[in-house]
């Protein structure tokens, strides 16, 4: 081998070695498929989901209680008292929307249930 061929092979070898060392560790295409292989289509519910389900249930119960109180002719003072009880016990407050339907929101202001 002549001197130029040795230099060419050395430079190509060093370039390949540098490319191999500096390549990204988590390729987006390969990393995404590896993550999906480990998990099936179904997984255990998360803690946040159960909290949201509880808020939705409490909101539905609150709307039903408020609707029954309105239909039975309770005063505004009694409706406010019921709303305070719902807020203290369940963390839900029931509002009357502009269309006359009821809406339940949690303490953070997120709507968790609406009347149909």
The ranges assigned to domains in the chain are 53-114
User: Each residue of 2-51: pLDDT tens digit?
Assistant: 899 999 999 999 999 988 888 877 655 555 555 555 555 665 555 556 77
SS3 48: helix
pTM of the model: 0.56
Cα(40)–Cα(14) distance, rounded to whole angstroms? 42
SS3 97: coil
- By 3-state DSSP, what share of the chain in percent is helix, strand and coil, each rounded to 5? 60, 10, 25
């Amino acid at each position: 081998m002549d001197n130029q061929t040795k230099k060419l092979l050395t430079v190509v070898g060093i370039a390949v070695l540098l490319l191999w060392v500096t390549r990204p560790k988590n390729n987006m295409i390969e990393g995404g498929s590896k993550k999906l292989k480990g998990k099936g289509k179904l997984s255990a519910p998360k803690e946040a989901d159960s909290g949201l389900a509880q808020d939705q249930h409490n909101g539905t119960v609150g709307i039903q209680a408020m609707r029954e109180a309105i239909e039975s002719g309770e005063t505004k003072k009694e409706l406010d008292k019921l709303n305070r009880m719902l807020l203290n016990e369940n963390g839900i407050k029931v509002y009357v929307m502009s269309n006359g339907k009821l809406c339940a929101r949690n303490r953070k202001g997120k709507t968790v249930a609406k009347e149909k």
